[in-house]
């Protein structure tokens, strides 16, 4: 009896504050996660540990077709799994259901795809030791799964894009989590390589922008090691193959990827017809010209490797070179093959002529490919010159939005003044809970005599390390385009001449954030022209996003820590008030003390008494300046030193001066051992804020008393508590008689 009474009391306490251990619900209620949790990479269900009952439709059953084809569809030797989706097909409406036994008499394995069922089980996460994973239901094996009368039909897949889940290696929890467990379709993508970690992510799929999602082999139809002997070993499509469409269920694979940050969300195709391949056009690679810097007397030979090896017996039929002079009409030249190397020669042109060209290869089934792939945006090009000594503008200028130098891959000589040296932008390397983050040291030179952009360039190589800001230098090197950034690779110290020291630094180009806006794509000439140039936001800007490395992080008002599933990368977004067009600032590369990240393994991970060192959302900065950089699909200003920042001013956003009560999800959550709770009072109120454990015992009173209207932030230290789930309850009674009460869960993980 002594054991029963506390248990009964705990249940009554949970019921009294709004939590029930067993209840009817929907998949959406189980799966929906608050945005402030998703913003820091925490996608755990708030219902973990609860026993729930819900109705849904089977997307993928445990067996291929029970009673007819009893092969195991979804992998598992000691368990059986199904994917179930809410009958409304609403977002957050899919979930994994797993029966921990293959012999339990639940009728679970008799289900067919499209069946409408009632399921009862315990909400869990896999894996259960981190903040991010796949929500699943552990089936209650004491109950029979109830099948309801219906026409059995799988839901229509939801059309999604890879960019809903990934942007160049950054997992997009905010837009991706809503599709977890749901049946989706992705169209017109390309097959990429297997992940370097985790053999079961057997291929990647890439969109035209380079965003990636992995194909997971949870269905035995798509496994290179099926765990049911009735399935043949699947042969994955070749790297580079075209995927017309792929249908499948989205899950969170929850394993770290050493090379690209995260696996994050993956797609699980279910049945053989879920993957449709297209005819893959020939590949065009290793495009080169000779000479690289043509003179008026030179004809120019263009060579390329053209191959079509993925869908033999289909083969290359032809390859043409298209070129035009000074924006005129294109002329076509047939390229002659020698093996798989195709060649054509363009005629000599007068000094100063702009020559643009591209290649087109076609196979014997009519499928064709261009190189560059989008000739409306980019072509190969050059200007006819007398020699290879040129200004920085000659190297950097592009007549289109491709962003590539016309002399990419070729040797040139230029000169400029050093505007950033390796003491300003040193090599960066930091290892923390989020893994190792690195950034290269950089030396930048700029030609102060060139107005209107195109005047700066990164000179790279060990030989540049001794250079000092203010030196005028003449350098010779190889033009290189790497991840959208133009560099001049300097091979030896002999390729550098220091012409003078102590020279004035070129003036900053004053502009608004809109000029180098975060939404501008690589090569957009309105931003590209400022690459490696000193730029300045002279008026006060406001930090609109303090965790900009992850798109979901922009919902957070506070700097968040690195975790094994979210990396900060030192990026924030700023706007001019009233303009509302954001520009990206890269904090981690420069030699200054401004940061937007912290280490949650350190009890003193940040110090709010040092405003302007740890930056927060809505802080104002009186001015900002630095060098424009490009990486991972974004233009970003890199401040070099503390004096590149104006005064940092704490700014309270207008939309936070709320006219109502509210309390936010604690951050971080899960936490160890310190977390923060933020709430707002629209009027003077008597307030209590208390922490309880799951048996209803009060753990801590954080607030008790009368408080003026405004926003408050309270710190809770769980150092002396055991790991587990806790509940915090706020009650507020205003002097006008308004009452507010809200309950939230939080998780302490040690």
What are 576-627's pLDDT values in tens digits? Answer: 988 889 999 999 899 998 888 654 444 333 334 334 477 877 788 999 999 9
The values of phi and psi at residue 350, to 5°, are: -65, 160
CA end-to-end distance (rounded Å), the chain: 33
**562: confidence class by pLDDT, cuts 50, 70, 90:** low
Answer whether 335's CB lies under 8 Å from 305's CB.
Answer: no
State yes or no: pLDDT of 334 exceeds 80. Answer: yes
pLDDT digits (tens, 9 = 90+) for 439-465: 899 999 999 999 899 999 999 999 999
The values of phi and psi at residue 540, to 5°, are: -65, 130
**671: confidence class by pLDDT, cuts 50, 70, 90:** confident
Answer whether 293's CB lies under 8 Å from 388's CB.
Answer: yes
State which fold the 4-148 domain adopts: OB fold (Dihydrolipoamide Acetyltransferase, E2P) (2.40.50)
The pLDDT value recorded for residue 559 is 63
pLDDT digits (tens, 9 = 90+) for 416-439: 999 999 999 998 776 665 556 778
For 206-211, the CB contacts below 8 A with 24+ separation are 206/162, 207/161, 207/162, 207/163, 208/373, 209/163, 209/168, 209/633, 210/168, 210/633, 211/161, 211/162, 211/163, 211/165, 211/166, 211/167, 211/168
State which fold the 657-748 domain adopts: Immunoglobulin-like (2.60.40)
Answer whether 634's CB lies under 8 Å from 583's CB.
Answer: no
State yes or no: pLDDT of 387 exceeds 90. Answer: yes
Domains 279-387 and 657-748 equal at CATH topology level: yes
Cis peptide before 673 (omega within 30 of 0): yes
Q: How far apart are CA 428 and CA 440, in angstroms?
A: 6
Counts of helices then strands in the chain (DSSP H, E): 6, 53
pLDDT digits (tens, 9 = 90+) for 645-660: 999 886 544 444 456 7
* Residue at token pair 């009862």: 120
261-282: average pLDDT? 85
| Contact partners, residue 78, CB within 8 Å, separation at least 6 | 100, 101, 102
The pLDDT value recorded for residue 604 is 34
The tokens of 81 are what? 């799994």
Answer whether 712's CB lies under 8 Å from 679's CB.
Answer: yes
- The yes/no answer on whether domain 158-269 falls in CATH 1.10.287 is no
Q: How far apart are CA 226 and CA 485, in angstroms?
A: 44
Q: How far apart are CA 515 and CA 507, in angstroms?
A: 17
298-312: average pLDDT? 87
- The yes/no answer on whether domain 279-387 falls in CATH 3.40.720.10 is no
Q: How far apart are CA 101 and CA 81, in angstroms?
A: 10
* Residue at token pair 């308004």: 738
Q: Could you tell me the maximum CA-CA distance found in the chain, to the nearest angstrom?
A: 102
- Tally of CA atoms within 13 A in the half-sphere of 526 that contains its CB: 11
| Contact partners, residue 189, CB within 8 Å, separation at least 6 | 162, 205, 206, 207, 243, 246
The pLDDT value recorded for residue 435 is 59
265-284: average pLDDT? 92
* Residue at token pair 């959302």: 617
The tokens of 338 are what? 């020698």
- Type and span of the H or E element at 430: strand 428-432
Least confident of 498-502, 513-517, 610-614: 610-614
Question: Residue 307, Cβ neighbours under 10 Å: how many?
Answer: 15
CA geometry: angle at 698 spanning 36 and 682, to 5°? 50
Query: If you write DSSP's letter for every residue of 10-43 in order, what string do you get?
Result: HHHHHHHHT--SEEE--HHHHH---HHHHTTT--
CA geometry: angle at 96 spanning 92 and 97, to 5°? 130
Percent of all residues in the chain with a pLDDT value above 90, rounded to a whole number: 57
What is the domain partition of the chain in residue ranges? 4-148, 158-269, 279-387, 509-649, 657-748
pLDDT digits (tens, 9 = 90+) for 718-732: 999 988 888 899 999
The pLDDT value recorded for residue 672 is 84
pLDDT digits (tens, 9 = 90+) for 198-219: 557 778 899 988 888 999 989 9
**34: confidence class by pLDDT, cuts 50, 70, 90:** confident
138-157: average pLDDT? 92
| Contact partners, residue 701, CB within 8 Å, separation at least 6 | 688, 689, 690, 691
pLDDT digits (tens, 9 = 90+) for 79-119: 999 999 999 999 999 999 999 988 899 999 999 999 999 99
SS (H, E, C) 289-354: EECCCCCCCCCEEEEEEEECCCCCCCCEEEEEEEEEECCCCCEEEECEEECCEEEEEECCCCCCCE
């Amino acid at each position: 009896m002594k054991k029963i009474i506390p248990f009964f009391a705990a249940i009554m306490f949970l019921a009294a504050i709004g939590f029930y251990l067993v209840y009817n619900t929907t998949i959406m209620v189980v799966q929906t996660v608050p945005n402030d949790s998703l913003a820091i990479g925490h996608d755990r269900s708030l219902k973990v540990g609860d026993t729930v009952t819900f109705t849904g439709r089977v997307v993928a059953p445990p067996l291929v077709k029970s009673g007819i084809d009893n092969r195991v569809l979804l992998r598992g030797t000691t368990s059986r799994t199904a994917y179930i989706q809410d009958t409304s097909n609403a977002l957050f409406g899919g979930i994994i259901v797993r029966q921990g036994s293959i012999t339990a008499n639940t009728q679970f394995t008799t289900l067919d795809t499209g069946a409408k069922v009632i399921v009862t089980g315990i909400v869990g996460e896999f894996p259960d030791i981190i903040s991010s994973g796949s929500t699943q239901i552990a089936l209650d094996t004491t109950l029979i799964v109830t099948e309801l009368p219906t026409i059995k039909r799988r839901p229509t897949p939801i059309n999604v894009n890879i960019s809903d889940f990934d942007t160049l290696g950054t997992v997009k929890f905010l837009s991706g989590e809503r599709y977890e467990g749901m049946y989706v379709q992705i169209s017109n993508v390309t097959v990429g390589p297997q992940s370097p970690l985790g053999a079961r992510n057997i291929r990647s799929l890439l969109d035209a922008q380079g965003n990636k999602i992995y194909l997971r082999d949870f269905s035995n139809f798509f496994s290179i090691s099926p765990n049911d002997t009735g399935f043949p070993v699947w042969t994955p499509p070749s790297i580079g193959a075209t995927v017309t469409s792929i249908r499948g269920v989205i899950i969170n694979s929850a394993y770290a990827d050493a090379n690209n940050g995260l696996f994050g969300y993956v797609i699980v195709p279910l049945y053989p017809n879920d993957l449709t391949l297209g005819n893959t056009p020939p590949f065009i690679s290793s495009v080169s010209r000779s000479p690289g810097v043509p003179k008026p007397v030179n004809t120019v030979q263009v060579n390329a490797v053209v191959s079509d090896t993925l869908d033999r017996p289909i083969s290359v039929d032809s390859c043409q070179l298209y070129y035009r002079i000074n924006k005129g009409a294109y002329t076509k030249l047939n390229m002659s093959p020698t093996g798989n190397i195709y060649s054509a020669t363009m005629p000599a042109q007068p000094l100063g002529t702009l020559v643009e060209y591209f290649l087109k290869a076609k196979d014997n089934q009519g499928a064709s490919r261009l190189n560059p792939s989008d000739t409306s945006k980019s072509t190969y090009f050059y200007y006819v010159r007398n020699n290879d000594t040129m200004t920085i503008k000659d190297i950097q200028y592009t007549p289109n939005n491709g962003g590539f130098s016309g002399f990419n891959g070729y040797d040139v000589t230029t000169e400029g003044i050093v505007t950033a040296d390796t003491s300003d932008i040193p090599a960066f390397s930091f290892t923390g809970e989020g893994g190792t983050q690195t950034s290269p040291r950089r030396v930048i030179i700029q030609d102060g005599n060139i107005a209107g952009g195109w005047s700066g360039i990164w000179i790279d190589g060990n030989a540049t390390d001794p250079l000092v800001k203010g030196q005028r230098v003449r350098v010779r090197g190889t033009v290189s385009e790497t991840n959208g950034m133009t560099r001049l690779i300097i091979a030896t110290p002999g390729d550098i001449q220091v012409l003078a020291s102590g020279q004035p630094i070129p003036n900053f180009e004053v502009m608004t954030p809109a000029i180098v806006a975060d939404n501008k794509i690589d090569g957009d000439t309105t931003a590209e022209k400022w690459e490696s140039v000193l730029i300045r936001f002279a008026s006060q800007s406001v930090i609109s996003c303090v965790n900009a490395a992850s798109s979901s992080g922009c919902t957070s008002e506070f700097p968040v820590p690195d975790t094994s599933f979210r990396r900060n990368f030192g990026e924030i977004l700023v706007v001019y008030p009233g303009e509302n067009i954001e520009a990206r600032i890269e904090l981690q590369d420069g030699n200054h003390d401004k940061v937007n990240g912290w280490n949650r393994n350190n009890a003193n991970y940040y110090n709010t008494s040092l405003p302007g060192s740890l930056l927060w959302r809505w802080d104002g900065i009186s001015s900002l300046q630095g060098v424009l950089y490009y990486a991972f699909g974004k233009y970003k200003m890199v401040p070099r030193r503390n004096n590149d920042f104006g005064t940092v001013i704490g700014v309270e956003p207008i939309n936070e001066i709320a006219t109502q009560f509210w309390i936010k999800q604690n951050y971080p959550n899960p936490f160890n051992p310190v977390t923060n709770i933020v709430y707002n009072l629209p009027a003077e109120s008597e307030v209590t804020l208390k922490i309880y454990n799951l048996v209803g015992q009060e753990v801590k009173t954080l607030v008790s008393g009368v408080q003026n209207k405004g926003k408050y932030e309270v710190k809770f230290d769980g150092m002396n508590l055991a790991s587990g789930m806790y509940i915090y309850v706020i009650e507020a009674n205003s002097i006008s008689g308004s009452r507010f009460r809200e309950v939230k869960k939080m998780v302490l993980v040690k």
